[in-house]
Structure 1
Amino acid sequence: MSTSPDPHSVSDRAASFTQGAEVYARVRPSYPAEAVSWLVPERSRVLDLAAGTGLLTRPLVDAGHDVVAVDPAPEMLAELATELPHVEAHQGTAESIPLDDDAVDVVVVGQAWHWFDAPRAAAEISRVLRPGGTLALCWNDRDERIDWVRRFGLILHDGDPLRARTGSRHEPPDLGPSFEPPETATFRWLHHLPTDHLRDLAGTRSYLLTLPEDEREALLERVDDLVVTHPDLAGATEVAMPYVTAAYRARRR
């Protein structure tokens, strides 16, 4: 007998992204080339860990890196394979990476470190990194200095019991004893998307994906209302969502 997902459960929230992988691939932002160049500045063998639908894999490939992708969700990997059929991809987790020891020069993690069992993941990443290798993490945070973006964020997290875990990244992550203290950089950029995709974008959040259908729909209707009533959005066919990419990189000790 199946049970409904629990928005209070980290494991249920992390697993929720198997729903609507096609929508995730279509509306979620990628990462700016400047951030990718900072994360991996030299031509490298790169593991994109928790690669999802390939939103970070694509710019890594475009930058000329030799990339292998790992993700726990076959639905997400299917989307990645459709867009990037020549990329080596495996099903696996951060705590059990299906690669040999010393297999890659860099491990990158986009928008996912907060879902990991950090000590286990750090040890496993250290195992697959070559001596002197780098762990590079990044998150896209909405720039909520802009009024409509702030209001959009308030809707997305209204009642979210894991808001502190899944919210904006203001402090460097604790990578444990396997890694040196991380370097930090930020990159501001704009993600252009049709205004009517804001509802779809909201619907890809783990909190909404795990809510009962009536509660989820109520939040999505508030997004619809924001789109038609806010003066910066009403009547617009396209919107530029401002993001700040928070990036971190640390050498393996």
Structure 2
Amino acid sequence: MPTLPQEQALPPRPEPHQARQVAESFGADANRYDRARPRYPDALVDRIVAASPGLDVLDVGCGTGIEARQFQSAGCTVLGVDPDARMAEFARRSGVAVEVATFEDWNPAGRVFDAVVAGQAWHWVDPVAGAAKAARVLRPGGLLAVFAHVFEPPSGVADAFAVAYRRVVPDSPFTVRPTTNGVDLYQAMFAKFAEGIREAGGFGEPEQWRFDWEQSYTRDEWLDLLPTTGGLTRLPPDELTQVLEEVGAALDKIGGGFTMPYTTLALAATRKHAT
């Protein structure tokens, strides 16, 4: 899941959807993941529901069910698909029906949906095969909507993370502190998503949406979120502690908290009607 700018410049090989160890590492602490990860803007959920022909939603890479529960609250019936049995079990306990599989290998068994959504997850799916699968399981006029958060903490906090991460994990495949801003990096990623949708066929021209919002974090809340990000989910406890201690010290220097500006980007494409 892309959440931190430090994670956005992934290595050219393997492609994100091929990095299965990272893709399936988030369930190591599903409780923390669900507690710490940010929710999605209500305006995004409402727009997806309004643009769909009905209320049957398939949530790809549903994780612990964060966005699934938001769609349920909006009146939708949601089925989740996730490759991590630990995440799926948490989602089930929260009231979300989940089937364990990668989306590419998942068997829809003849079921069709009004919307296929993916929050912080489409980069773990083959962009062409995933779009083709979505086209097969969507009703005519159904919506494919993939979305992700873009955010960057204050420079002192981000710099402390980068220094600690380089020292503790010098051979990491993740690039830290890119020179390109987060939104531009995500725009490039979403352009690849759009290319995959066009190549798969069956959809109208993809449309991008943007939602800007803010969320405040205390020191403890930010340190609770960091271990749920892809660069840290597989760190040994002692190395994780070192990174968190340095970030915590940086947070103490700026008063123990901050307000994060978020941008949530979404790419939406409508399933064409049969001709």
Common topology (TM > 0.5): yes
Contact 2:58–2:116 (Cα < 8 Å) also in 1: yes
- Find 1:177's aligned residue among 200, 217, 221: 200
Confirm or deny that 1:51 pairs with 2:62. Answer: yes
User: Residue 235 of structure 1: CA displacement?
Assistant: 4.2
* SS at structure 1 position matched to 2:34: helix
- Find 1:67's aligned residue among 54, 64, 78: 78
Cα deviation 1:79-131 (Å, max 9, x = unaligned) = 21222x2x322112110223234510110000011111222222222221112
Q: Pairwise mapping of residues 208-247 of structure 1 onto structure 2 (< 5 A)? A: 208-229=232-253, 231=254, 234-236=255-257, 239-247=258-266
- CA 1:156–1:98 in 2, change beyond 3 Å: closer, same or farther? farther
* SS at structure 1 position matched to 2:146: strand
**151-160 vs 102-111, which deviates more?**
151-160
* SS at structure 2 position matched to 1:93: coil
Aligned residues: 237
In the alignment, which residue of structure 2 is the partner of 1:188? 212
In the alignment, which residue of structure 1 is the partner of 2:20? 11
- CA 1:152–1:66 in 2, change beyond 3 Å: closer, same or farther? farther
Cα deviation 1:203-232 (Å, max 9, x = unaligned) = 111211223444433322221112211x2x
In the alignment, which residue of structure 2 is the partner of 1:88? 97
User: Residue 77 of structure 1: CA displacement?
Assistant: 1.6
Equivalents in 2 of 1:75, 1:183: separation in Å?
33
In the alignment, which residue of structure 2 is the partner of 1:207? 231
- CA 1:246–1:220 in 2, change beyond 3 Å: closer, same or farther? same
In the alignment, which residue of structure 1 is the partner of 2:120? 111
Residue identity in the other structure for 2:67: L
User: Residue 149 of structure 1: CA displacement?
Assistant: 6.3
Equivalents in 2 of 1:153, 1:31: separation in Å?
25
Equivalents in 2 of 1:155, 1:40: separation in Å?
42
* SS at structure 1 position matched to 2:187: coil
Equivalents in 2 of 1:89, 1:78: separation in Å?
8
* SS at structure 1 position matched to 2:141: strand
Equivalents in 1 of 2:138, 2:83: separation in Å?
20
In the alignment, which residue of structure 2 is the partner of 1:23? 32
Equivalents in 2 of 1:122, 1:208: separation in Å?
29
* SS at structure 2 position matched to 1:210: coil
* SS at structure 1 position matched to 2:232: helix
* SS at structure 2 position matched to 1:206: coil
Q: Pairwise mapping of residues 120-139 of structure 1 onto structure 2 (< 5 A)? A: 120-139=129-148
User: Residue 73 of structure 1: CA displacement?
Assistant: 1.2
Equivalents in 2 of 1:252, 1:157: separation in Å?
42
Q: Which runs of 5+ in 1 are unaligned?
A: 1-6
**152-161 vs 87-96, which deviates more?**
152-161
